[in-house]
Structure 1
Amino acid sequence: MTVTQRAPVHAAATSPHGASDPRHEGPADLRLIPPALAAWAAAALALSVPARTVAVTCTIACLAAAALLYAARRRADTALGGRGGAAVSHDVPPPSPPSPHDAGRRRRRVGAMVAVLLCGAAAGAVAAAHAADVRSGPVPSLAREYAEVTAQVTVTGDPRLSRPRVRGAALAPASVVLEAEAGRVTGPDGTTTATRAPVLLTVYPGARKGQAAWLGLLPSTRLRVHGRLAPPLRDGDRIASVVRVRGGGPPRVMGEGLGDGRGEVGHRVEGVPDRQVRSGDDQAVSAAVAAPRGRRGAGGRR
C-alpha cells in the first residue's frame, strides 16, 4: 500500500481527507512598493517644479519605459532561435537559450522598472496639472501684486485659531484661519472675475464675540470679504493666495437662511429623547421638525 505524503496545508488536519478550509500563506508580495514610492516622490516634486520641467521629465520616463519593453521583446525573439531569416553556420554551434528561471527573472525586473517609470510619470503629470490649475487665473496674479480685493468665498474647512506671535515687544493677537474657495473676485480696478481658486483666509477679530462668530462658521457657508491678497509662503502650497481680511467685525454671511434653518432644526429636535435620535427613529424626528415652534417632541419640555 502506497502512503501519499500530505501537503503542508493539510499536515495538522485530524481528518483523513485533510483540512476543510486550507490556507496557504505565501511570502509577502512587495512588487508594488517601488511604483508606489515613485508615484509619491514624483507627485511631491511636481508641486514645486515648473510645469515645463515636469512635462519633459514625464516624456523621458515614458520613452525610457517604451525602450525597455522593446529591448526585452527583441531579446526574447533572439532567444527563441533568431527568426530574422539570417543564415546559420553549421560549424558554429548556436548559443544556448537562457533557462526559464533566468528569463522569468529578467522579465520581472524589466516589468518592475517599467512600472516605476510609468507610475512616476502619471503621478507627476497629475500633480503638475493640479499645481498649474492653482497657479493660473486672476487670484495668483493679484496676490503677486498684494492687491486689495473684494471676494465672494465659500468656506471649505473648519475654522481654527493660530498661535499668537510676538511682534517687537508686544504679543500679537491670535488670528482665525480657515480654508475657502474664491468664487467671484473684484480687483482694485473694479473688474469682477469668476474663478474657483483655493484661498486661505486670515482674520484678526477685535472682540471675543467676533472671534466666536468666525470660529462658528460651517463648511459650505458663503461669505463676502474684503482684504489684501498675498502669495503663499511656499511654492508647493495647495492654495492660490492668502487673504488677509480687513476689519475685525463678524463675518458677512451671504444667504443666512441656510444657517438659520440648521439652527431651527437643531432647536426643535432638542425635545426628542436621545435614544430615539440615536436609533434612527425617523417618525419622532420628523414630527418634532414639523411641529409648531411652541411644541416639542415626546418627552420634551413645553
Structure 2
Amino acid sequence: MFPATTDYKFASSTHTAQPPSGSSALITAAVSQSFKAHITSLSEEIRSKTIQETLMFIHDQFPNELPKFQETLDKRRITLAENSSETGAVSIRPLEKLVADHNCPELITDLNSMVKEFNTHLKHFINYSEDSEISSYLREHSSRRFSKQLEDFGKDIHKRTNQNCEAGHADSKVVVETQRKLVAWHNSVKILIHGLLDPLFNNPEGPDHNSREKDKALATLHDIQSLKQDVGKNDYFKIDGILRYLTTKVPRENICSRLSDLILTDFIGSGNLKVFQKTLQRLFDYYHFIPFEGPLGEITDELCESIQIYAAMKKPTGFDY
C-alpha cells in the first residue's frame, strides 16, 4: 500500500487498458481491503496523520466525493438498522451524536481538559498524603492544598469561578484563563445533561425515535437521583419532579434549564466529592466517553475520608492558597 502522501500522476495514453467489467468489483474490494489492513496496522499517531492526508487528497482531487459521503452518512442515520426496530443512529457513538445535534465541536476537548485537571489534583493529593519521606509539615500542608482543590472542584464548575479568581492579588492572566476553563466545563456539563433529555422529547413516530435510548436516559437520571439517596437524602425525588413536566405543555427549553440547574446545584456543585465524581461518571458512561489520558479518578470511601480530614485542617501561616 502506498503512503497517503504519494502524489499520484497518471500518464496520458492513446490506448488505456480497461479492466474487464466482471473484474471491476473484485479490484475495488481488493483495494479497499488492502487500505483498511494498512491503516489498521499503523501506530495511532501515524494512522491519524495518514487518514488526514488521505482526506485532504480526496478533498483536493475529488471535491465532490466528501459531500456525497456526508449525504450517505445522513441517510444511514435515518434508515432502519438491519434486523432491528431501532434507527441507524444506534450505530453512531452517543457522544459524537451529541456533538452534532448540539453543534458543540469543542465539547470533547473541554471534557478532556476537565478530567485531566481533576485527575492531576487527585494524583498530587495521593502522592503527598502517602509520601513518608517528606516532612510531616510539608505533607500536611500540600495534602490540605490539593484536598481543598478536589472538594471545591465541582462547586467551582457550578459557580464558574473560584477563590483564586476572586482574590484581589491574583494574576490577571491566570484569572482570565481559570474563568475561561470553568465556564467551558460548566457549559460542557450542561450539554451532557441536556442530551439526556433528547430521546425523551423525540416523536415516537419520528425517524430519530429510539425506545432503547429513552429507557437508557431515564435509567441514568434515576441512577443519578439515587446518589442523593445513598448519602442519606431518602426523600430526594427532585429529578422525578422535573421529569413529570415532560407530559405537560412546559417548553422544552424550560425543562432542560431546570434539570441542568438542579444537577449542577445538587450534584456537581454539592460539595460532596463522591456525589460529584459519581454524577460525572454516570454522564460519561451514558455517552460512552473515555477520556484521552485515562478515566476519571475514582473516589473510594477511604480516599474520600482522607481528603475530608485534610480539607478540614486550619490553613497554616505563610501558605497563601
Fold in common (TM above 0.5): no
Larger radius of gyration: 1
Could you tell me the TM-score, scaled by structure 2's length?
0.22
Larger RCO, structures 1/2 (Cα 8 Å, 6+ apart): 2
Q: Which has the higher strand share?
A: 1
